[in-house]
Amino acid sequence: MTVDLREIYHLALSAAEEAGRIHQERLHFERTIETKSSPADAVTEVDRACEELIVSRIVAARPDDSIVGEEGADRVGTSGVSWYLDPLDGTVNYVYRRHDFSVSIG
């Protein structure tokens, strides 16, 4: 199977830009903060909303790809292509309204 890396790049870029807009739009709003494995391992509704958005974009364009999401949106695919997502990389920085956070898609 041939994989079009340009298609994958543009899909990842587009999804990351959309998620980044959500980060910026919600940065100064009050947010619900939960913890996962430890008090320093935070997750917010922004993490979850961004992961849902990214997964929906990938599934719409490439329904047979595998996805491993930081917030649990895992899907087993058959294409041989796997996506690894951290929809809000730097959640603790985001919670404290620092600007060193990002969307990570690999």
Contact 23, 97 (CB under 8 A): no
* pLDDT tens by residue, 30-43: 777 777 777 667 78
* pLDDT tens by residue, 57-73: 999 999 999 999 988 88
Q: Quick one: pLDDT at residue 106?
A: 94
SS (H, E, C) 6-65: HHHHHHHHHHHHHHHHHHHHHCCCCCCEEECCCCCCEEEHHHHHHHHHHHHHHHHHCCCC
Q: What is the rounded distance in angstroms from the CA atom of residue 86 to the CA atom of residue 16?
A: 10
Task: Provide the sign of the torsion angle of the four alpha carbons 35, 52, 69, 8, taken in this order.
Answer: negative
pTM score, two decimals?
0.88
pLDDT > 90: what percent of the chain? 63
Between 36 and 79, whose confidence is greater?
A: 79
Between 38 and 84, whose confidence is greater?
A: 84
Where are the chain's structural domains? 5-105
Q: Which CATH class is domain 5-105?
A: alpha beta
